[in-house]
Amino acid sequence: MKMECYMSSGCGSELAVRRNIEAALKLEGVSAETVFRRITEDEAMALGLRGSPSVLIDGKDVDLREIPGFS
């Protein structure tokens, strides 16, 4: 499994997201390649992300909102 976490430059939740992902993986007993990236609004729009942070599992965004970009 691959997990990607994208955050805006001003997002203050990186530490919490890292802790939550680590705890969830441990709880479920699974491992994952996990990547954290800071990106721009333009990059977020190009990727079709829906907020900051955005978490993708195997390329699929776990957030189902319909508004692209970092809102």
Contacts of 6 (CB under 8 A, 6+ apart): 37, 38, 39, 43, 44, 47, 49, 52, 53, 54, 56
- Residue-wise pLDDT for 12-66, tens only, equals 999 999 999 999 999 999 999 999 999 999 999 998 888 889 999 999 888 776 6
Asked, for residue 31, whether it belongs to a domain, the answer is yes
The confidence score (pLDDT) of residue 15 equals 94
Strands 60-61 and 54-57: antiparallel
Q: What is the C-alpha radius of gyration for the chain, rounded to an integer number of angstroms?
A: 12
Q: What is the pTM of this model?
A: 0.81
Sign, Cα dihedral of 7, 13, 15, 17: negative
Asked, for residue 22, whether it belongs to a domain, the answer is yes
Asked, for residue 71, whether it belongs to a domain, the answer is no
**For residue 25, what are the domain limits?**
2-61
Strands 2-7 and 54-57: antiparallel
Query: Structural domain tally of the chain?
Result: 1
